[in-house]
Structure formats: C-alpha cells, structure tokens
Amino acid sequence: MTILTTPKQDGFAMPGEHAAQQAVWIAWPVRPDNWRHNAQPAQQAFSYFIDKLAEVVAVKVAILPSEVENAKTQLDQSALSQGRIELVPMAYNDAWLRDTAPTMVTNQAGERRAVNWQFNAWGGELDGLYDDWSDDEQVATRIAEFHGFQQYDAPFILEGGSIHCDGEGTVYTTGECLLHPSRNPHLNQAQIEAYLQQYLGVQQVIWLPEGLYNDETNGHIDNLLHIARPGEVLLTVCDDLNDPQYAISQTALEILHTTKDAQGRALKVHELPMPGPLYLTAEEANGVQIANHNPLKQQDSVGMVRRAGERLAASYANFLICNGVVFYPLLDAKTDGAAAAVLAQAFPEYRLEGIPAREILLGGGNLHCITQQVPA
C-alpha cells in the first residue's frame, strides 16, 4: 500500500545501521556482462558472505527462479533448512540491492515502513550502466510487499548507496552523485535537501563534494565514508599526494572537521587506509561478456566498462554493520591489517569479520552495495 504523505510528516525516520536488524537482503549475481565467467566466482563470494551473515541475522536472498537450485548447492544447508537463509524468487536486473531495495524507516513505536526511490541504473540515458532497469525499479515494492510494509514513493531518483544516516537527524551524501545531471537535473541542491529531510526524517544534510575516485556510481557516499555511530565517521584517505584520491579525501576531511551534525556535535573522524590502488587484470576483464552499446546515450559509453588495467573503486569504507558484527572487505594483503586496526578502534564493542571481496569489487561495488538491512 502506497502512502501519500512523507515519513517526516508521519514521524518516521531512517535508523542508523548500528541499530538492531531483523533481516538483510542480498540478490544473487547472474549478469555475465558484469560478473565474469557467468558470475560463478561472484556467486562463490556472495555465498561465503551470505553464510557468515546468516550467523547473526536472517538473510533474504532475492533470486531469479532459474537460479534457485544452483544457489541451494552453494549456500549453507543448515541455514537454509532452518530458515536463516531464505531464497525469495524475484525479477531484477543486477545484484545491487543497496540501491534498488527500499530504504526502511521507523517511528518511536517501532513501526516500519519502506521508502521506494526512483531508479535509473545510475544515470539513465546519459550515463546509466545498463539499458533496461525495469525489473530493478520494481524491487523495492516487491520487498515491501514481502514484509507487508506500507510504502512511500519518493518523487525523485536516488540510490541507497548515495546516503548514510546516523539515526539522529543527520544524513551524509555527495554532490558528485545527488547533483549529477544524470539524476535529477530539474532539482537544485536546496530542493534535494528538502526531499532528503522529508523522506529520511532528518534535519541536516552534510555534503561532501566527491566520492571515491573512478567510482562508476558517480561517487556514492558508501564507498568513501561510513558512520560508526552518531557523531563519529570513518573516511577513506590516501597518502599519495599524486593520487587523484588524495585531494578528494583531504577536502572531505576538512569539511568533516569543521562541520557539526544535527545534534550540534563536532565530528570524530577515523581515517581508513586506501587499498592498492587496485586494477582489473587482463584475465579478469576477459571473463566478462561485452555489453551492447546503447545508441540512446549522449556520450560514448558502453555502460559497465570492464577493461584490463582499469582502476577499481576499492574502499574499506564499503562495509556492513549488522547486529554487533562489522563485516568488512578483504581487498589488499598490504593494507587489510591496517584497515582492521582502524575498524577495531572505531568499533571496540563489535566483532570484526573479514570477507574476501575481490570478486564483488570486480562488479563495481562491495559488501555495503550488495546489502540492504531491515531494522528490527
């Protein structure tokens, strides 16, 4: 059922990721023009992550009906039989549920509702990553109906990876994404802020200019920054002055160090090391089927470009907080340990669980990008 008011009008707001979670949604990867070797390596990586997640939360796996039997052979059998992993047949175009699943909002009484954002595959005809996103546009409604949640239909384009909420009135985002001409060119920054306040139930929007370098989502916040708790964030930084990421991160640091949140708190910033830089190998690129060129696009793009030597948008900030555990990506043996040390400092009361994530990264995102939580 669609509600014609807004979450803020009804006393609903997006909780922080550190709040208790009832379930986490993930979609089974299948696209051969994004996941190499018909997604078999990606499915192994997803399966490992799903099995680990199922130890602390119910995992709902959106899956194409044709893939159900295949997934059953790869996932933990006891978790499947006990219902800790549930396969939910559903149509979708790709596996990035952070961006296509609904954002959940709650009120003081603990009621939950879903926000359905408009979606155009990260850019539509201007620079979208694939041509047909009609199934992805229906994912949020299908998940809301699965849970029996009432739904708000937001009147603008937004991906869940482009926002981070602290649950106490503050949302973080990037101008690179939300102000990009491929999203909502008819809206200015003030209008987008007003929509964020209404549909997330927040009072303040903290804007960073850019996201991670060479991120094909046009700079999603969740690949650069994560919230540990209200008033405390983690940010990917770069030590190499000649790396394009250095200036991006330094600008973000300056903004975060001089900004107060909705509750008037100065922000504490934990600096996460940047892995790599990491690049796509020839063997990895050769395993991806080339997508068809889209003649409707206003620039020369084939959507999800996967070329040998391409720099990967790798970041330890792309982790998931879930019920007392921080699931973080293992990306580079040279920096994994340093990243874990920063996470341990930021989350002293949490257990850390490293997830081998190279195969997920090859598809263009990471652990946070492929998940969407349902608050308890």
- Write out pLDDT tens, residues 59-78: 999 999 999 999 999 999 99
Is residue 99, in this structure, part of any structural domain at all? Answer: yes
CA 182 – CA 125 distance, rounded (Å): 8
Under the banding of pLDDT at 50, 70 and 90, the label for residue 256 is very high
Q: What pLDDT, on a 0 to 100 scale, did the predictor assign at position 304?
A: 76
Is residue 370, in this structure, part of any structural domain at all? Answer: yes
Average per-residue pLDDT for the chain: 95
User: Does 298 score more than 50 pLDDT?
Assistant: no
Find all residues with CB under 8 Å of 164, minimum gap 6, and list them. Answer: 17, 171, 172, 173, 221, 222, 225, 226, 227
Q: What pLDDT, on a 0 to 100 scale, did the predictor assign at position 305?
A: 77
Collapsing DSSP to helix, strand or coil, 234 comes out as strand
Q: What pLDDT, on a 0 to 100 scale, did the predictor assign at position 303?
A: 64
Among all residues, which ones are annotated catalytic? 369
Q: What pLDDT, on a 0 to 100 scale, did the predictor assign at position 302?
A: 47
Q: What pLDDT, on a 0 to 100 scale, did the predictor assign at position 299?
A: 44
Is residue 2, in this structure, part of any structural domain at all? Answer: no
User: Does 223 score more than 70 pLDDT?
Assistant: yes
Place of tokens 């694939």: 130
Looking up residue 61, the CATH number of its domain turns out to be: 3.75.10.10
User: Does 291 score more than 60 pLDDT?
Assistant: yes
Is residue 181, in this structure, part of any structural domain at all? Answer: yes
Find all residues with CB under 8 Å of 188, minimum gap 6, and list them. Answer: none
Is residue 316, in this structure, part of any structural domain at all? Answer: yes
Under the banding of pLDDT at 50, 70 and 90, the label for residue 163 is very high
Mean pLDDT calculated for residue range 97-105 = 98
Listed in sequence order, the DSSP H helices in the chain are 40-53, 68-74, 77-81, 97-100, 124-127, 136-147, 175-178, 189-200, 244-257, 282-286, 336-346, 358-361
List the single range of 108-112, 245-249, 293-297, 317-321 with lowest mean pLDDT: 293-297
At 303, which helix (H) or strand (E)? Answer: none
Give me the number of domains the chain comprises.
Answer: 1
CA 8 – CA 294 distance, rounded (Å): 39
List the single range of 152-156, 261-265, 306-310, 329-333 with lowest mean pLDDT: 306-310
Cis amide prior to 277 (ω within 30 degrees): yes
Is residue 42, in this structure, part of any structural domain at all? Answer: yes
Is residue 1, in this structure, part of any structural domain at all? Answer: no
Q: What pLDDT, on a 0 to 100 scale, did the predictor assign at position 1?
A: 79
Quote the domain boundaries for residue 16: 7-375
List, for residues 24-60, the tens digit of each pLDDT value: 999 999 999 999 999 999 999 999 999 999 999 999 9
| In contact, 199 and 8? CB cutoff 8 Å | yes
| In contact, 118 and 141? CB cutoff 8 Å | no
Q: Which residue has the higher pLDDT, 293 or 132?
A: 132
At 347, which helix (H) or strand (E)? Answer: none
Mean pLDDT calculated for residue range 224-252 = 98
User: Does 292 score more than 70 pLDDT?
Assistant: no
Beta strands 325-330; 351-356: pairing state: parallel
| In contact, 74 and 63? CB cutoff 8 Å | no
Place of tokens 């939300």: 178
Under the banding of pLDDT at 50, 70 and 90, the label for residue 294 is very low
Q: What pLDDT, on a 0 to 100 scale, did the predictor assign at position 295?
A: 43
Is residue 39, in this structure, part of any structural domain at all? Answer: yes
